[in-house]
Amino acid sequence: MDVEVVGRVLSTLPQDDDHPYRTGPWRPQTTEWRAEDLQVVEGEIPADLDGVYLRNTENPVHPALERYHPFDGDGMVHVVGFRDGKAFYRNRFVRTDGLLAEREAGGPLWAGIAERPAGSPRQDGWGARGRMKDASSTDVVVHAGVALTSFYQCGDLYRLDPLTLETLGKAEWGGAFPHDLGVSAHTKVDPHTGELLFFNYGTTEPYMHYGVVGADDRLSHYVEVPLPGPRLPHDMAFTENYAILNDCPMFWEPELLARGRYAARFHPELPTRLAVVPRRGGPRPIQWFEADPTYVLHWVNAYEEGDEIVLDGFFQGDPEPKDTGEGGAYQRMFRFLALDRMQTRLHRWRLNLVTGRCEEERLTDSITEFGVLNNAYGGRRYRYAYAATGLEGWFLFDGLVRHDLLTGQEERFGLPAGVYGSEPAMAPRTGSTAEDDGYLVTLTTDMNEDRSECLIFDAARVADGPLARLRLPERVSSGTHATWAAGDSIPGWRDAESPAHALRL
């Protein structure tokens, strides 16, 4: 393995930091690496695995003003690329406006998600609340050959070279990007049309917008989606002809919001509302459906079946877990992010466009989240969902599960104690013809050996364990979302003689 340090970002975090979400599996990194021909610890890299796995991470550089929330951490993207049976690795901070400003100031400038807005040294900010640093540390997708990172609450989309991870600036969409409201954490790329679908939300009417960006990277559609008040939607889904948005009854408490406090509360007396929006329509053609009250952090997929739209996501049995008073302030705060406390289970909603009725069913009793699929089946009928399992508080994934949505069967792989995974991505085999003909890729954080690895699984045989384990240069921090981009979707991928040359260093 040929390893080189290519950059470091100066951190002002205390040397003896004891914060529960900046230590252990969440220990941040400050070194940026370039590694070619990664060491194979076990197995063999499949020769027909061709493309890049990209994963975003919350990676704080400075301490919080008062109370650190993991979503405040600065964005760092990791890439593991595969070609011709070899692999390379690189990681880079996303050079956001906030990161650059705080680097110049030598410390924090904005209040975080769990802090008082009035406490910000600077009141200019990005995001739906207009006073937060846009860390661009939540999700990553690839659209029009460029990687785009996004923020937990609405912000800009930062453009990255998917091979070098060089920050290329912000998405502009032909000068039409809605910088005043930004874009939600989760955008969706339709592989069949090359379009990117998105929504945003804010604290003033109409509270939500929906839009479409064409394969030419220009905004082609943008409409209002009226809501009864400020909401906190996180994700969306789409089908061949529709986008599905949501109005879940977990949102900022209106009375507190009027006083400048952003405290989310669950309102079980209200239904979950699901909006079916024609891909190029709205706001009048929007059809709303009412469902059981819950909060859905992540959807898996949706597709059309006769008069119905079938929508799959993770139903929270307890969106606002009871505060038991145990474990200290941070553990109580992050009960909202513990999969076992929230009781997240794979769920299906059937939305009948003719009758206006919504029928629901639980698809599994297992507690899982962060579901992914073969992206070629996005918005189309599909059979397999792959998800993370985790019972140890805030997004510590202890294994993978393959859900067969036709038979109801599950196939699992559990990581050893003290080893945690990342959101997996499904990488179709080159020339694949079946939905599950490909690989699952994930990164691990091994607290026992103080190291990280990239694991590659046969997507059809997850329980058999990894086909290959690759050593990374440094133990990486626990993170959130990841994606897969096939090599032929990346400009210049095949022009280079090798993956190392493809890095364009």
pLDDT in tens, the chain (505 residues): 899 999 999 999 999 999 988 999 999 999 999 999 999 999 999 999 999 999 999 999 999 998 898 889 999 999 999 999 999 999 999 999 999 999 999 999 988 888 877 777 876 765 554 567 899 999 999 999 999 999 988 999 999 999 999 999 999 999 999 998 999 999 999 999 999 999 999 988 999 999 999 999 999 999 999 999 999 999 999 999 999 999 999 998 888 888 878 888 999 999 999 999 999 877 778 999 999 999 999 999 999 999 999 999 999 999 888 776 666 666 666 666 677 788 899 999 999 999 999 999 999 999 999 999 999 999 999 999 999 998 655 678 999 999 999 999 999 999 999 999 999 999 999 999 999 999 999 999 999 999 999 999 999 999 999 999 999 999 999 888 999 999 999 998 977 554 444 444 4
Strands (E), 195-342: 195-201, 208-213, 219-224, 237-238, 242-247, 250-252, 264-266, 272-278, 287-291, 299-305, 308-316
Q: Domain locations in the chain?
A: 2-499
How is residue 487 written in tokens? 């090599």
Write out the CATH class of domain 2-499.
mainly beta
Strands of 229-319, DSSP E: 237-238, 242-247, 250-252, 264-266, 272-278, 287-291, 299-305, 308-316
Structure tokens at 422: 């990342």
pLDDT tens digits for range 80-106:
999 999 999 999 999 999 999 999 999
Q: Can you tell me which residue has the tokens 């679908």? A: 197
Residues in the chain: 505
| Residue located via tokens 């919504």 | 358
Provide the 3-class DSSP secondary structure of residue 408: coil
Longest CA pairwise span in the chain (Å): 61
Sheet holding 86-93, edge to edge: 2-8, 31-36, 86-93, 75-83, 51-58, 482-486
Q: Per-residue pLDDT tens for 382-426? A: 999 999 998 655 678 999 999 999 999 999 999 999 999 999 999
Say if CB 379 and CB 192 are below 8 A apart. yes
Tell me if 325 sits within 8 A of 338, measured CB to CB. Answer: no
